[in-house]
């Protein structure tokens, strides 16, 4: 049997002389077509104008409204979707009924189980991506700040100057270190927060940056440099000497300058 991808709209005139079994067949065929077959679109659902996390009763969705039922929603009501209205259903089991009028749109995924009646006279888009977290461009945020420390010193805490944004709103962090700032970046074990306090004992310049992942996207903050001053050499003085009791020592000279 051929599977249809579109709902066809028919104008039906019932002949009173048709026998009842034939008339019932026509009615049932049209009803099945209206309930099961709808135009399949590959577009993505628009942004929600309202989200239902709880409630019951019948929610009427009018033109311009995009009402969303997320996966963890406790909403147990039903929907009447008028022309121009849209509903995004991502709840695994939807107990209410849904009546989608011509011109209305239902967005859902194949994993949604409808317990109540689903009467679709408009458009229904069933695609797993409809219920995937929406990804927006990922911004890594910024970290701060470059500074200078003494040889063998302890760098300052690297702070979160500006938080990341975009993606799906959930972020995974990993701080990295480099000895040049132009490559050779390696992950720092355990440094997975938005801020990082580097270990002390630095004897050479180091660069740090923060990697951010969200929704399959990856971005890096700008790198900051921790400059390490050279070690201090005290130089030397000379020389040892022996003097008489109550005598006057010779001037202690600098035999090698400090550096």
Same domain, 71 and 104: yes
Helix (H) / strand (E) element for 114: namely strand 113-114
Give the chain's domain count. Answer: 3
Same domain, 93 and 142: no
Mean pLDDT value of segment 165-170: 82
The model's pLDDT over 103-154, given as tens digits with 9 standing for 90+, comes to: 999 999 999 999 999 999 999 999 988 887 667 789 999 999 999 999 999 9
pLDDT at residue 84, rounded to an integer: 97
Indicate the residue among 131, 162, 196 that finishes a domain: 131
SS3 23: helix
Same domain, 173 and 221: yes
Range of the domain at 29: 1-37
Helix (H) / strand (E) element for 22: namely helix 20-36
In terms of Cβ atoms closer than 10 Å to its own Cβ (0-12, 13-18, 19+), residue 76 is middle
Q: Contact at 8 Å (CB) between 151 and 231?
A: yes
Same domain, 120 and 147: no
Q: Is residue 3 part of a domain?
A: yes
* Percent of the chain at pLDDT exceeding 70: 83
pLDDT-derived band of residue 234, with 50, 70 and 90 as boundaries?
confident
pLDDT at residue 231, rounded to an integer: 92
pLDDT at residue 170, rounded to an integer: 82
Q: Is residue 123 part of a domain?
A: yes
Q: Residues 211, 212, 213, 219: what is their CA dihedral angle, to the nearest 10 degrees?
A: -80
Q: Is residue 187 part of a domain?
A: yes
Q: Is residue 245 part of a domain?
A: no
The model's pLDDT over 181-212, given as tens digits with 9 standing for 90+, comes to: 999 999 999 999 999 999 999 999 999 999 99
Same domain, 59 and 94: yes
Q: What is the CATH number of the domain that holds 167?
A: 2.60.40.10
Q: What are phi and psi of 21, to 5 degrees?
A: -65, -40
SS3 45: coil
Q: Is residue 259 part of a domain?
A: no
| Sheet (strand 98-100) strand order | 58-61, 78-81, 98-100, 118-120
Q: Is residue 254 part of a domain?
A: no
- For residue 29, is the peptide bond before it cis, meaning its omega torsion is within 30 degrees of 0? no
């Amino acid at each position: 049997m051929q599977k249809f991808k579109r709902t066809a709209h028919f104008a039906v005139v019932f002949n009173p002389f048709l026998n009842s079994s034939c008339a019932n067949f026509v009615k049932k065929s049209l009803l099945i077509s209206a309930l099961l077959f709808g135009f399949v679109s590959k577009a993505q659902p628009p942004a929600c104008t309202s989200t239902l996390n709880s409630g019951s009763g019948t929610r009427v969705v009018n033109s311009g409204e995009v009402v969303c039922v997320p996966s963890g929603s406790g909403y147990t009501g039903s929907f009447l979707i008028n022309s121009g209205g849209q509903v995004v259903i991502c709840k695994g089991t939807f107990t209410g009924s849904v009546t989608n009028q011509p011109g209305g749109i239902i967005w859902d995924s194949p994993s949604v189980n409808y317990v109540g009646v689903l009467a679709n006279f408009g458009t229904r888009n069933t695609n797993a991506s409809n219920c995937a977290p929406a990804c927006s461009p990922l911004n890594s945020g910024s970290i701060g700040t470059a500074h200078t420390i003494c040889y063998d010193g302890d760098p300052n805490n690297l702070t979160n100057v500006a938080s990341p944004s975009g993606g799906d709103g959930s972020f995974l962090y990993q701080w990295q270190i480099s000895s040049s700032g132009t490559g050779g970046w390696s992950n720092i074990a355990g440094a997975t927060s938005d801020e990082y306090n580097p270990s002390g004992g630095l004897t050479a310049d180091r660069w740090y940056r923060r990697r951010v992942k969200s929704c399959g996207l990856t971005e890096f903050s700008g790198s900051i440099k921790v400059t390490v001053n050279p070690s201090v050499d005290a130089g030397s003085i000379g020389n040892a000497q022996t003097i008489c009791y109550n005598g006057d020592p010779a001037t202690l000279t600098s035999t090698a300058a400090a550096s």
